[in-house]
Amino acid sequence: MKKTQIFNKTVTRIFNTINYIDENLDKKLSLGNVSQKAYFSPFHFQQAWEYSFVWMTENGYKKSTLNPFEIYYNDASNHPENKFIVGLCIPIL
Residue from 4, 90, 6 nearest 53 by CA: 90
What domain count does the chain have?
1
pLDDT at 68 over 60: yes
Percent of the chain at pLDDT exceeding 90: 16
Q: Where are the alpha helices (DSSP H) in the chain?
A: 3-23, 31-38, 46-58
Beta-bridge partners for 63 = 92
Round to whole Å and give the CA distance between 74 and 40: 12
Residues 33-43 have pLDDT tens digits of 777 776 665 55
pLDDT for 7: 63
* Residue 10 belongs to domain spanning: 3-89
pLDDT for 50: 83
The angle, 0 to 180 degrees and rounded to 10, between the axes of the packed helices 3-23 and 31-38 is: 150
62 φ/ψ angles, rounded to the nearest 5 degrees: -125, 135
Select the more confidently predicted residue: 54 or 76: 54
Collapsed DSSP state (helix, strand, coil) of residue 73 = coil
